[in-house]
Amino acid sequence: MALIPLKDTSVILASQAPWRSNILKQLGIAHQCYDHQYNEPKYEYGSIERFVEKIACEKALSLQFSFPNSLIIAADQLCYIGNEVLYKPGSKEAAIKQLELLNNKQHKLICGVAVWYNGSIKSEIDIAHLRMRDLSIPEIEAYVEKDKPWDCAGSYKIESLGASLFETLQVDDPTTIIGLPSAKLISILRAFGFSNLL
């Protein structure tokens, strides 16, 4: 099957997060950013991987009637340690507490990506395993002050100074940690018949 140039299609990113938009730009995918219209629930029980994948799908679906002729990309991400889910901290103090919890421990970062197009939706998840260094409280406080990561699950920005926080990272695709797994996304786009290379 011959693939269609993605540049000939209107692409919507269901997110205003600049790091997700930057990944699409790196892939050469022209797009517009809009806030999704889905009221995200908190995780309660069941497979957290399926939960994250469902949230990504719901975000994309929430814009389908606003942009019926577009291809809509959405993503979701959760940080998971032990039996606890860490959401976006929302404040400096909460970010410091999250990093104190992750300090010198391994955790999972689960990221889902979904694409809606022409009445169909496809989705994938990817999982990163990260081990944080044994950091002092002053180091954690200094990091939060510099990177201001209170809009990120787990309270770090791996694409910035947050790369200094970790001893080991196990992940197939580094963009999974940033918040939009590009390899999974490209596979979905190709399954829909699109190529970002053309």
| Rounded Cα gap, residues 143 and 60, in angstroms | 33
Q: How far apart are the first and last CA of the chain?
A: 14
| Residue found by looking up tokens 């860490």 in the block | 86
- Catalytic member of 8, 35, 76, 151: 76
In 10 A of CB 119, how many CB atoms? 7
Which 3 state secondary structure label does DSSP give 124?
strand
Contacts of 50 (CB under 8 A, 6+ apart): none
| Rounded Cα gap, residues 171 and 177, in angstroms | 8
Query: Phi and psi of 192, rounded to 5°?
Result: -80, -10
Q: Look up residue 155 and give its DSSP letter.
A: S
Residue 76 falls in the annotated catalytic set: yes
Which residues are known catalytic residues?
Answer: 76
